[in-house]
Amino acid sequence: MSDSLGSKSETPYSRHSEPNEGDADGGDGSGLNADGTTSTGKSSAKRISKYFTVRLLQAAVTVTLAVYASILIANAGGAVDELRIGQIREQQSVYLSQSPEFRDLRSERRRDLIDEHVQMEIRRLGLDEPFIFRSFRYLRNALTLDLGRAEYLTSESGSRQVRYIILERLPPTLYLFASGNLILFFLSVFGALFLSRRYGSKLDRAVVALAPTSTAPNWFYGIFLVLIFSAVLGWLPFGGMVASPPPANPFLYFLSLVRHLVLPVTAVVLNLLFVSIYTYRTFFLLYSSEDYVEMAKAKGLRSGVVERRYILRPTLPTIITNFSLSMITVWLGSILLEGVFNWPGLGSLIMQAISQTDTPVIIGSVAIYSYLLVFTFLILDVVYAIVDPRVGVGSGGAES
Amino acid sequence: MSKRPSRFRANLAEIRRYPSAIVGCVMIMMLVGVAIYALAVLSYDDAVRLWRGGAVWAENPRNARPVWYNLVPGVERPTTIVLDSTDPEAEVERTQVGEQRYEISIRLPFEYEYDGFPREVNLFVRSEFDDARPFLVSTWHTPDGRRIPLGRQQVRQTEILRLSQDRDIAGRLGGVSPRFGFFTPDDTPEAAEQGEYELEITATVFDHDAKVDARLVVYGQVHGIAGTDHRRRDIGVALLYGTPIALSFGLLAVVGAYITTFVISAVGTWFGRWVDTLIQRIAEVNMAIPLLVVLIMVGTLYSRSIWVMLAVTIALNVFSPGIKIFRAMFLQVKTAPYIEAAQTYGAGNTRIIFRYMIPKILPVLIPQFVLGIPTFVFLEATLALLGLGDPVLPTWGKVLQDAHQNGALYNGYYYWVLLPAGLLIVTGLGFALVGFALDRIFNPRLRNV
């Protein structure tokens, strides 16, 4: 059980003893895969699918607990209860004011009637039960994003259901996040490989010197990019996802989308690029001083092969772990990044919800971000399992 | 073990070999200096009061650039000119013109030496009287001899006459805003006429002790060391007082979050088994709680106070992913022979954890600690930019948020964004430079790469 965690917790500092036991494995594993991918393909697929299933279950438990914890925080001062009762009151007063049989009632009589109905609803929905029972109902609602109606915000299609409002904003956020981070990942891995070959060069030193710039969050870079490329130079749009009105031609639409993506994606990449290259470069350098690398070089293998098979391959799991931890900050930083670029995603939605104090939407976004975080980890776990042949062993606790 | 403290000090001394770390140290010193100065000149209540704004800033121009804009050769933007009838230069005469009728004549002359036009022209009138309100007739004199009548007003005890926004005066100037019309006879204003201007006010009062004082403010385009915002507040105040707030937020958050994480991780590793498993599971769940969104939730539902935010931040960082990093290190320490030795002489769990395990890994914590500070400083800025900044305190993030909300970049008020952003950069870089250098010193594996 804890073995998979142990390997997940590898960090720049944590591998002091690992290479010794990992050497043989890493070397063997990569050799094996390079030589006999077809023969082990089936079993590794089985291994990964089993691993994935276990991980999926773990992720489900994690999300549930995280959302439950958030609910406890949210209701620490009774805010969720107030919100629910407010929603019921609104519902009842709309119902009573619209039904013809109550139209002629005097206003105070109607108010009493509303109070009566609200009390009935509270009892019917079990809101008078102790919080511990209700909290589980809130949990179910939050997990299914069944959060009732937003107070002010509406979706593009005009719906006030929190679920539709949130789900509608998901795709733009995912475009931005996925494109930014894929570019970041590959750019930094190859940049790091490139630099580890030129260890000590001017370029290498420049990147090391630039690594501290990553302390600023990505929206901070966004502000400067807007300042330079939109305000001063006027080359790229200030914000938004497509030009307004959106071009009808799909190709032009795509071009416009790309044009709007340039700056936010650059902000995401620029934010972590140097520190990632610096960290990965360090991993590469550590691994390239291992004996089996010397051995491979001595065998006369081409440097490209040595790099791919003997340096990159065993380092990848460590890199992925590192990348996966940095995702937490990227996800949360992009809330404001979207705000800076007026990107119509979840982040902008949260900012709108804050400015209008739309509580159901804010609570819903806690749930959706928990999902997003956990799914990111899950995907990276699967990638981890694919690149690290050792993983299957401890995943379910079956073998160890 | 006995050698450890001296080695620790030697390691610290090694920082001198890193020029980047020295630059970082200088940056941090400067920030600490500014913070101390800020706390010395402004009390907490003063800072809050000044940032609330209002009448305190009535004589500041809106959105004025910092004065150092004028250091650029060829740029000479007007600064604010304030003339008061109680000043020695002002000419004030009081004559009796009838029974219970006195005339106070006030002449406020000033030299205007700029090409640019002022932002606004306002006249603040204060008066003391018994029953009948004083009656004002004023005229604007220009260097080329034009006399622009500014109309007649009956004034209360305090009155603000917004001359540059007065439609009647604009009408008299042929539809040109008085902001330009006062300073040039042209219909298409390009450059202000330089020379001696004068505001002449004749106030008629109706009792013997009645007084009228006038204060003319010709608002400049530059003001103070950091400029002003849309509510005339001096941005310098927020930048100055934001420094101690930012530093203390970062420091407290790091102390609260990292030290607890560190200790918990040590405890978990030492006891192992279910304690360790439980801590690991909590850390995993904690990783799935989106900190910023929870802070947003707390901010909208309960309180936006920076101290509440700090408390929530610390609480949610106790089981941060850092636990896993520390755990991996403690696992190695746990099996070290000297721990075994300690056990044989009968050291208790607490003693082993606090006297043997934690000190061993502490050097690794130090760089993390230093690197963590700017993260939290930026977190505060993030919250402020989301509109969840502290409701009363001036912070860098709140200046950025005001700038963003008022389209500072779009309108070309670059200073409004660049100054707070610059301070954030200095903070970020200062701590990061030191942190990265410490990381290389204290992590021997990184030393040679």
Residue B267: the pLDDT is 87
Residue A306 distance to chain B (closest CA, Å): 20
Give the Cα separation of B96 and B210 in Å (integer).
Answer: 12
**Domains along the sequence of chain B with CATH:** 3-51+232-446 (1.10.3720.10), 78-219 (2.60.120)
Tokens of B432: 């990061």
Euclidean distance between CA atoms A14 and A65, whole angstroms: 28
Supply B290's token pair.
Answer: 């989106």
Which residue in the set A9, A216, A357 is minimally distant from B328, CB to CB? A9
Task: Give the largest CA-CA distance in chain A.
Answer: 97
- A325 to B321: CB separation less than 8 angstroms, yes or no: yes
**How far apart are the two ends of chain A, measured CA to CA in Å?**
9
The closest alpha carbon to A397, from A57, A103, A51, belongs to A51
Angle at A337 between CA B378 and CA A214, to 5 degrees: 45
Identity of the residue in A66, A214, A227 whose CB atom sits nearest the CB atom of B414: A227
Q: Which of B126, B110, B43 is nearest to B78 (CA)?
A: B110
Low-confidence ranges of chain A (pLDDT < 70): 1-44, 77, 102-103, 105, 389-400
Kindly list the residues from chain A whose CB atom is less than 8 angstroms away from the CB atom of residue B301.
74, 77, 79, 359, 362
The model's pTM is 0.80
- Assess contact for B148 and B140: CB atoms under 8 A: yes
Domains of chain A: 51-143 (no CATH), 162-398 (1.10.3720.10)
Interchain proximity A366–B290, CB inside 8 Å = yes
pLDDT reported for residue B244: 93
Euclidean distance between CA atoms B125 and B134, whole angstroms? 10
**DSSP at B16:** G
CA B430, CA A349: separation in Å to the nearest integer?
34
How many CA within 13 A on the CB side of residue B332?
14
Across the interface, which of B324, B332, B429 has its CB nearest the CB of A212?
Answer: B429
Residues making up chain A, counted from first to last: 400
Local structure of B228: helix, strand or coil = strand
Q: A68, A74, A270: which is closest to A180 by C-alpha? A: A270
Q: Which is nearest to A327 in space by CA: A291, A276, A278?
A: A276
Judging contacts by C-beta atoms under 8 Å, the chain A residues touching residue B322 are none
Residue A368 CB partners (closer than 8 Å, separation 6+) = A145, A166, A170, A346
Question: Both tokens of residue B395?
Answer: 């912070």
- Say how many C-beta atoms besides its own lie within 10 A of residue A285's C-beta: 19
Closest listed residue to residue A345, CA positions, set A230, A241, A267: A241
DSSP β-bridge partners for residue B201: B106, B138
C-alpha–C-alpha distance, residues B423 and A37, integer Å: 54
Min Cα distance B428 → chain A (Å) is 6
Cis amide leading into B321 (omega within 30): no
**Element holding A23 (H helix, E strand):** helix A18-74
In three state form, how does the secondary structure of B332-400 look? HHHCCHHHHHHHHCCCCHHHHHHHHHHHHHHHHHHHHHHHHHHHHHHHHHHHHHHHHCCCCCCCHHHHH
Residue A217 to residue B378, Cβ atoms within 8 A: yes
Amino acid at A7: S
- Considering CB atoms only, which of B327, B428, B435 is closest to A216? B428
Q: Are strands B147-154 and B81-84 parallel, antiparallel or unpaired?
A: unpaired
Chain A residues with CB-CB distance to B288 below 8 A: 62-63, 65-66, 370, 373-374, 377
Q: Which two tokens stand for residue B86?
A: 């109680």
Task: Kindly determine whether residue A13 and residue B445, on different chains, have CB atoms separated by under 8 Å.
Answer: yes
Which of A104, A22, A74, A12 is CA-nearest to residue A390?
A22
Cβ–Cβ of A355/B387 closer than 8 Å?
yes
| CB burial readout A7-22, b (16+ within 10 A) else e | bbbbbbbbbeebbeeb
| Contact flag B375-A215 (C-beta cutoff 8 Å) | yes
Mean pLDDT, consecutive 10-residue stretches, chain B (449 aa), reads 58 76 90 92 86 83 85 83 85 84 89 87 89 88 87 86 86 84 81 88 86 89 85 88 92 90 87 85 86 86 86 89 80 79 80 82 81 89 86 88 83 87 90 86 61
**How many Cβ atoms from other residues are within 10 Å of residue B116's Cβ?**
15
Secondary structure letter of residue A12 according to DSSP: T
Question: Is residue B196 left, alpha or beta, with left meaning phi > 0 and alpha meaning psi from -120 to 50?
Answer: beta
Tokens representing B394? 């001036």
What pLDDT sits at residue A399? 32
C-alpha span between B412 and B69 (Å, rounded): 13
Cβ of residue B303 closer than 8 Å to a chain A Cβ: no
* Residues paired with B98 in a beta bridge: B101
Contacts of residue A39, Cβ cutoff 8 Å, sequence gap at least 6: none
Nearest one of B179, B225, B271 to B423, comparing CA atoms: B225
Residues of chain A in contact with residue B425, where contact means CB-CB under 8 angstroms, are 216
Order of strands, edge to edge, in the sheet holding B147-154?
B91-98, B101-112, B195-205, B135-141, B147-154
- Say which residues have a Cβ less than 8 Å from residue A180's Cβ, sequence separation at least 6: A264, A265, A267, A268, A269, A330, A334
Cβ pairs bridging A and B (under 8 Å): 175
* Alpha helix segments (H runs only) across A299-312: 303-305
pLDDT at A103: 67
**Residue B222, strand partner residues:** B65, B79
Cβ(A321)–Cβ(A384) below 8 Å: yes
Q: Write the DSSP string, A256-301.
A: HHHHHHHHHHHHHHHHHHHHHHHHHHHHHHHHHTSHHHHHHHHTT-
- Residues of B in Cβ contact (< 8 Å) with A220: 378, 381, 421, 424
Residue B415 has, within 13 A of its CA and on its CB side, a CA count of: 21
By the 10 Å C-beta count (0-12 exposed, 13-18 middle, 19+ buried), A135 is classed as middle
CB contact under 8 A, B288 and A340: no
Do A3 and A51 meet the contact criterion of CB atoms below 8 Å apart? no
CB contact under 8 A, A231 and B412: yes
| DSSP helix/strand/coil, B148 | strand
Query: In one letter, which amino acid is A377?
Result: F
Measure CB to CB from residue B301 to each of A16, A79, A355 and give the nearest one.
Answer: A79
Greatest alpha-carbon pair distance for chain B in Å reads 108
In this prediction the ipTM stands at 0.75
Nearest to B83 by CA among B43, B126, B123: B123
Nearest neighbour of A77 by CB, restricted to B302, B421, B433: B302
Q: Assign residue B120 a region (left: φ > 0; alpha: ψ between -120 and 50; beta: otherwise).
A: beta
Are B353 and B295 in contact by the 8 Å Cβ rule? The answer is no
For residues A116 and A341, what is the distance between their CA atoms, to the nearest angstrom?
48
Classified as helix, coil or strand, A356 is coil
Residue A397 Cα to chain centre, angstroms: 27
Work out the minimum CA distance from B374 to partner chain A, whole angstroms: 7
B288 closest CB neighbour out of A5, A62, A281: A62
CA-based nearest residue to A350, from B383, B287, B15: B383
- SS3 label, residue A51: helix
